[in-house]
Amino acid sequence: MPAAECVRVVVRSRPLNEQETSMGCTYVLETDPSCSQCTIVNPADRTAEPKVFTFDAVFDKEATTELLYNDVVYPLVESVLEGYNGTVFAYGQTGSGKSFTMQGPDNWPVQKGIVPRTFEHIFEAISTTENVKFLVCASYLEIYIEDVRDLLGKDTKQKLEIKEHQERGVYVAGLSMHPVHNVNECEKLLQKGMRNRATAATLMNTDSSRSHSIFTLHLEMFEIHHGREHIKTAKLHLVDLAGSERQSKTRAVGERLKEATRINLSLSALGNVISALVDGKSTHIPYRDSKLTRLLQDSLGGNTKTIMIACLSPADYNYEESLSTLRYANRAKNIRNRPRINEDPKDALLRQYQEEIERLKNLLRDLQQPVGPQAPSSIPTDESRLELETKQLRMEYERKMAIIEEQFRMEQITKSRLEKELSRLRDSYDRAVRRTEDNEAALARNFAAQTGMNTEQALERLKMLEEQIIGGEQLSNKALVEKRKQKKKEAERRRRQMREMERNRQLQEEQMMDAYKDVNQTLQSVQGKLENEKRRNKALEKDVQDLYGEFERERQDYLDTIRKQNQQIKLLSQLLDKVKPCIPRDCNYADLDGVKRAAVWDVDSQSWNLPEVIITRTKLPKTESCNLSNSLRSASSSRQDQMILNGEYSSDSDSGDEILRQVRWLFLLMKIRYEGLFPKIFAKSEAENIAGTYFKPLRQRNVANTTGESVSFSPYSHSTTWQHLQNGVLYTDDLYASGSQSAKPKPRLLESNFSYRPSPSS
């Protein structure tokens, strides 16, 4: 099991901005980089004991992003180049400098952000590394109002689904991954994603991020060591979180208020995960409470080296927010991860590329050689068959060798006889291997014939694949190689220095009572320690009071959120009561109780899966028209025929008898008319099977339609990486095609009572 290490937490304070200066705000935050301590004073009670927090590193308002990167982030990126997963994320309230730290200004070199510095670091290392080839892909996503979006995709508003792979963990289905070869390509992708990211102005920040963004670099490394191929993979997540904010300060309304509510809920879920990880008694870690914690699951308590940068505002106006950030950061430094090198994955893209390149090289070599005619039956059609044949030959060879050695030991065969047998066996094995190689060449020629690929097409494909693999381009640049060596030495020196500072601080805190010369010195030392403990105890009591106040404020915020949600629920309920009478009775949504029973909650998407809308249309069979009036006129004009039918006709009958005769004629006409019509109706009804289809439920038709939709082409279904590579983009489904599962349960269908599907003849 890999060794555990804690999440590294650093604090960065910014200067007062123009708005805080105009408001007359004062500093309540003091930083001491020499001992990595941060002190905050309560502006409402200046006489109270200040609160002191200790972290892995502290950077004051004068510190540059370049210094922060070299001291803290540089070793993490070096670990990523060795095969570890890494995460860097900035945390803090809105306007505290998170995006400034991660992205940075373009026209201020020393304040260039962590993300662009990471690009330069990685590609400089790749270009000066010997005997290692790299494949680098970039992806960029945002979490906006709990919806995951691809900032580099064709449709940036499309919602993506989070899934989980059995071996590789959580991933976003359908997320585009773009192969990159240099710093410029990465910066173009970053700028494109930032233009698509959701930002807006608030009272506290004119360019406030309204979403969490994650820029990820996927690295695959191919190295041949001692004659064996080694492939390592790594991921580097660069996370820029949206800031927590209070409605009373930002005055957010409408869409901005909805965004702020979602942001605060996701950050609250992040705080709950941190608290659960630190608390050893927690048996459940609530990663699924938000999309953010779901995606950062491996970074918090998993297989990742993680750095948290807590950004603070030093103004007394933001005292409560800064104190809350410090407490979160103080808890986060106790999270323990277990990072390990990701070696020899089965589904690495780089492995697929290397195999394809080797196959294309063999194809080009065989296309350039003259080939004699061969019998079709001697050419295998499956590469796996050749591999199996080679393996069987090797196993047979080893088995016979074992038998011969055993016979030599048991029967003491002479040396000459044994050498002759071994020589014969080696010759047989060599002939079989040559025959297998000839079959492989024939297979390559068959592959070219089947795919219709000529030499130019194979060369073009080979060139495209080789361009995706980079590494060692600047090995001849001695100055650049030496510069990288000096950077690594300086980073190692700073790391040792920080370790020494941490060790000295711990020794001072844990220093025991030394042997003193007399009792007075011993008494003074004990009294000094007692005073220190009293101050600590008083500070802890003050912290308890502050926590009670903070909990009360959070409770009030939650209550306000609940009240607003109840208002929305009542509004929707009243609207539903008004709309319900307008729903047709033949629609399944007329039965709202049944719809509620059929609804299923999806944990991943945080939404309800509702049954499909079904409208039952009852269509009765058509009847054949009969013109009784014409029949009556025909009957009245042919009295002779009616006399023949009833035999009781008399010309001297009165009006009553005439009426009776008219009625009798009517029934007789109906009998004559329908004696020929009824058999036709019965035959048609039997063909239509009205009794079998009129009361037939819609279940079969709905299931058939649903089944037909389930096998339809999915927008995230990608056949081969080669087709995507031609378009210059890959997808996460290429990596996680097998072993993935979604937590989304299938929604149940709500059956209709009756249905009738008329036949085409009707």
Confidence class of residue 205 from pLDDT cuts 50, 70 and 90? low
pLDDT in tens, 141-173: 999 888 899 999 888 888 898 888 777 778 898
Half-sphere exposure (Cβ direction) of 741: Cα atoms closer than 13 Å = 5
Residue 191 parent element (H or E): helix 183-196
Separation CA 467–CA 477 (nearest Å) = 21
pTM above 0.75, yes or no: no
Domain range summary for the chain, segments of one domain joined by +: 5-343, 354-468, 533-582, 628-676
pLDDT at 131: 81
Task: Give me the pLDDT at residue 681, please.
Answer: 54
739 among annotated binding-site residues: no
Q: Is 243 annotated as a binding residue?
A: no
| H helix runs in 43-168, sequence order | 65-68, 74-81, 98-102, 114-127
- Cα separation, 522 vs 530, whole angstroms: 12
Q: List residues bridging with 138 in a β-sheet.
A: 178, 217
Name the residue with higher pLDDT: 346 or 311.
311
Is 568 annotated for ligand binding? no
Q: What CATH number should be reported for the domain whose range is 5-343?
A: 3.40.850.10
* Least trusted range by pLDDT, from 53-57, 89-93, 719-723: 719-723
Q: Residue 474 above 70 pLDDT?
A: yes
Is the pLDDT confidence value at 329 over 80? yes
92 annotated to bind ligand = yes
Q: Which of 16-30, 219-233, 303-317, 353-367 has the least mean pLDDT? A: 353-367
Q: Helix (H, G, I), strand (E, B), or coil: what is residue 263?
A: helix
pLDDT category at 720 given cuts 50, 70, 90 is low
Which position has the higher pLDDT, 312 or 460? 312
CB of 498 within 8 A of CB of 153? no
DSSP assigned state of 211: S
Q: Is 96 annotated for ligand binding? A: yes
Handedness of CA 487, 493, 499, 501 (dihedral sign): negative
In DSSP terms, 27 is beta-bridged to 315
First to last CA, the chain: 73
Side-chain half-sphere CA neighbours of 56 within 13 A: 24
Query: What is the pLDDT averaged over residues 711-725?
Result: 48
| Residue of 5, 12, 3 whose CA lies nearest to 329 | 12
pLDDT of 264-322, one tens digit each? 788 888 888 888 888 777 778 888 888 899 998 888 888 889 999 999 999 988 888 89
Whether residue 93 is annotated as binding a ligand: the answer is yes
By mean pLDDT, which of 10-19, 63-72, 248-257, 282-291 is the weakest? 248-257
169 is in an annotated binding site: no
Please state, in angstroms and rounded to a whole number, the distance separating the CA atoms of residues 295 and 169.
10
pLDDT mean over 11-40: 89
Per the annotation, does 113 bind a ligand? no
Q: Which residue has the higher pLDDT, 715 or 725?
A: 725
Give the pair of three-digit tokens for residue 165. 């792979």
Evaluate whether 250 touches 235 at the Cβ level (below 8 Å).
no
Scan for tokens 């590394």, then name that residue. 129
Distance (Å, rounded) from C-alpha 101 to C-alpha 66?
Answer: 10
pLDDT in tens, 49-61: 788 898 989 999 9
